[in-house]
Amino acid sequence: MDLELTGKRVLVTGGSRGIGRAITKVFLDEGARVAICARGEAALAEAAAELSEFGEVHHRPADIGVVGEPAALVEWAVDTLGGLDVLVSNVSAMAGPDWEASCAVDLVGTNALIRTALEHMEDDTGANIVCIGSRAASTAAARIPAYAAVKAATVSMIKSLAREVARRGIRANVVSPGDIIFPGGSWDDARIEDGKLWNAILRENPFRRLGEPEEIADVVAFVASARASFMTGSNVLVDGGATTGIQI
């Protein structure tokens, strides 16, 4: 299936590792031109150098939680790529119970990122926004209440945004991963420790395993592609069936 992403200009936040890195690679594999950011400059530069093997990738350090940074990042990406067709907002404070940090990054910063991106997206050209959510938004999450709450708010924000921008021919969706393992991530640390948390999360998933970043990236690429042209305002759970509630 041709996703028709060749030549598309894509900005991916949090692109230096894990899900963001996998998303970047799949867009490059599909022929897109990609700009990425992350907070850690050294890791970002290393990731960009490695990803450049697969296509055109540009990088710039940025902290979405800092006022003014989201807008500056988008302006840089637009100048670098010559425009913007797809924004993948893969950013989170990952602050667990910290409400202030969670709201500053996941909601206020993300909204600033999206609003600036919309100023540069052309109408009726297939432009779209994909936010990375979390299955935590759809279930009780006692250890990380602020994180779960802002991810639920992200779904609501994108649902409303999708209605707002539909007249422009722009789409907006959420892809919500379940528990994903990658080197250096929190679940990788839990696996190494092999304690109660690791065993519990394995038992919770019907597949008795965690997801891989590439399994999220492939879904994101489809949602952002012309093949999903009638999909907007959706929240796509990619969690191996771990979420047992029904979305209505």
Mind telling me the catalytic residues?
147
Structure tokens at 33: 């031109």
Query: What is the secondary structure of 37-64 as a DSSP string?
Result: EES-HHHHHHHHHHHGGGS-EEEEE--T
**Residues counted in the chain:** 248
CA distances (Å), origin 174, targets 43, 84, 89, 194, 237: 26, 19, 9, 31, 9
Closest to 93 in 3D by CA, of 83, 107, 75: 107
Q: Which amino acid is at 226?
A: A
